[in-house]
Amino acid sequence: QVQLVESGGGLVQPGGSLRLSCGASGIIFSTYSMGWYRQAPGKQRELVAIITRGGSTDYADSVKGRFTISRDNAKNTVFLQMNSLNPEDTALYYCHARGFSIVYWGQGTQVTVSS
């Protein structure tokens, strides 16, 4: 079956860094556009970053210049490098895979930025 499993979340001080990973199974990974979304308590889920099958990337304005999305097709894994974190980045981060007519979601990994 299809499975997306996130890892790498945790508690970090403002200004710190984290690297999230999402491993995918059950799909032809290289044919899927991948992305990261996040949802803070009481707020809507929002797109953080995407990377297409061809490697093009796009970011939310709030994270541009601080976050970098990348993918390793040989390992069926997408990454999110997060630098210069601030408390507004605190959220549950979800891995997202988009294929033809369907999408898949991971269960999420918690990122908390606090002093």
Helix (H/G/I), strand (E/B), else coil: 14 = coil
Specify the pLDDT at position 81: 98
pLDDT tens digits, residue range 27-76? 999 999 999 999 999 999 999 999 999 999 999 999 999 999 999 999 99
What's the rounded Cα separation, in Å, for the pair 111 and 102?
27
What's the rounded Cα separation, in Å, for the pair 71 and 97?
12
Specify the pLDDT at position 80: 98
Tokens 């799909």 belong to: 27
